[in-house]
Amino acid sequence: MSFGLRARRLGLATGGLLLGVAGLFVLPAPGVLILDSLWLKSGGSAANKPAGFAKAIALANQPQFRSTIQLVGESAGASGTWIGNDHQHGYVLTAGHNFTKGGKATEYVYIATDGAEYAGVDLLTHPEWNGDNNARTGYDLAIVVLDRPVKGVGQPALLYAGSGEMNQLCTIVGYGMRGTGSSGEHADYYDGENPKAAAQNLIENVTEAVDPLPADEDGGNYLGIDFDKEDGSAKNTYGEPTPVNEYEGALGSGDSGGSCWMQYQGQWCVIGVNANGDTSRYGAVSYFARVSGQVEWIKCVFPGAKFIGG
């Protein structure tokens, strides 16, 4: 990726508007941006903006994505993915930028898709994550240890360990701020009763990890997508200038550790963790910390994690 593009990237953790959820002021987590055409088709209107996300909400609530976890804090919100249990604890993969420097797992309550609430008892952040999303997007990872095993939401997420992400259809799942390609994100698109939404896109950038890791330069290890407009008129960074399908979308500001999925040999698996992007409208570029480049670190923290494709 060119230096000019990298210089435009913004740390999405700092964006967004404050919304009241369950009595708390929560900074919306990784919301998604969708096509205006899908928003209109789903019933979106000036009088009822949240209605336009009906199909995006239905996609997010398909059973293969039940392992997603909502993180709710007193002044922030985020997302993660349950990746398994041991005898005493559950484990959640999320983004390092969700936590303050030197922060603790207790900054959030962890809510599974069945509504069960869990407490965090330990936080293990990737050792190469230094808070700089311009240089360390691919290392923006953390694993939270929960106070007890997660139950009642099916199987934990499979993680992808292969190298075949390029040109694959992916599904981005997360909680929080929403918008369309023309509007950008706005609080009045949010639906507190249905906080999880999803979009799809094509992985059109795979940046390998740089070894040895440079001190102040881009360390690689991320996946990239761009948000194309229906008529192909938006700024195009990667691949074809038109949407991959009606669910085309990208990340909004407030991105906080949600998951990027693809199908491999008929099974859904997580290929990336929402990490970074540059705008919140058509032409936006979104980046994900690449899971397959961090297999050894994940196994070191949680040996019970299940991988596919390696």
Residue 177 near residue 185, CB atoms below 8 Å: yes
pLDDT at 252: 74
CATH architecture designation of domain 3-308: Beta Barrel (2.40)
What is the per-residue pLDDT for 21? 31
pLDDT along the chain (310 residues), means of 10: 32 32 38 94 97 97 97 88 98 95 94 98 97 95 98 98 98 90 91 91 98 95 98 97 97 78 98 90 95 98 96
Q: Please give the backbone phi and psi of residue 299, each rounded to the nearest 5 degrees, phi first.
A: -65, -35
- CB burial of residue 167 (10 Å; 0-12, 13-18, 19+): exposed
Return the pLDDT at 120.
98
CA distance 225 to 271: 13
* pTM score above 0.75: yes
In sequence order, the β-bridge partners of residue 91 are: 84, 145
Domain range annotation of the chain: 3-308
pLDDT at position 310, please?
Answer: 80
Indicate the residue type of 231: D
Asked if 1 contacts 206 with a C-beta cutoff of 8 angstroms, the reply is no
Position 30 scores a pLDDT of: 53
Cβ-proximal residues to 190 (8 Å cutoff; 6+ apart), any chain: 19, 28, 31, 50, 176, 177, 178
Task: Give residue 253's pLDDT.
Answer: 61
Q: Specify whether the CB–CB gap between 240 and 228 falls below 8 A.
A: yes
